[in-house]
């Protein structure tokens, strides 16, 4: 089994390889996605005491339901699908927090501040941006390298 340090180090060493194939104007979103995928949205979020879980600090509590429903190296380690599930989970959390904050602000008559921000419209604009595609590509490639490293280390054992 590969250690967290191995995943982090190998992913960062291999970052220049996919960058060779990425248009220069999308280096930043791709690299951000790749780094976030490596350090924060890793397939190892299904483990409570993994490095990616610990990196969330106090916010790692948000991942407890995900960890209880996920078996290590289960669906979270299926390339692309694992990332989609983690992003969907994170979006559900964001929507819940949005409506909780909206409810609190409504109670204290400050809801006009948050109602002027349309979360759905923002997400639609974000989804249609070419930079978002490269950000997601960075997430997916970092995940694929993680899973590949797990497979290689499993075959060695």
2 band by pLDDT with thresholds 50, 70 and 90: low
Q: Round to whole Å and give the CA distance between 89 and 87.
A: 5
User: The pTM is what?
Assistant: 0.85
pLDDT tens-digit readout, 70-118: 877 778 888 899 999 999 999 999 889 888 887 887 777 766 666 677 7
Q: Is 111 exposed, middle or buried (0-12, 13-18, 19+ CB in 10 A)?
A: middle
Q: Is 145 exposed, middle or buried (0-12, 13-18, 19+ CB in 10 A)?
A: buried
1 has pLDDT over 90? no
Q: Please check whether residue 144 is in contact with residue 79, taking contact to mean a CB–CB distance below 8 angstroms.
A: yes
pLDDT tens-digit readout, 34-82: 999 999 999 988 888 889 999 999 999 999 999 888 877 778 888 899 9
């Amino acid at each position: 089994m590969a250690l967290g340090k191995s995943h982090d180090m190998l992913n960062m060493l291999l970052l220049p390889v996919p960058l060779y194939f990425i248009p220069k104007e999308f280096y930043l979103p791709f690299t951000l996605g790749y780094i976030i995928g490596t350090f924060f949205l890793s397939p190892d979020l299904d483990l409570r005491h993994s490095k990616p879980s610990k990196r969330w600090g106090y916010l790692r509590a948000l991942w407890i339901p995900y960890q209880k429903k996920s078996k290590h190296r289960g669906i979270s380690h299926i390339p692309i699908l694992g990332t989609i599930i983690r992003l969907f989970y994170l979006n559900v959390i964001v929507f819940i927090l949005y409506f909780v904050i909206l409810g609190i602000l409504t109670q204290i008559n400050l809801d006009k501040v948050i109602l002027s921000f349309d979360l759905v419209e923002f997400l639609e604009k974000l989804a249609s941006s070419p930079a978002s595609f490269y950000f997601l590509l960075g997430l997916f490639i970092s995940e694929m390298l993680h899973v590949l490293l797990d497979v290689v280390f499993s075959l060695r054992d």
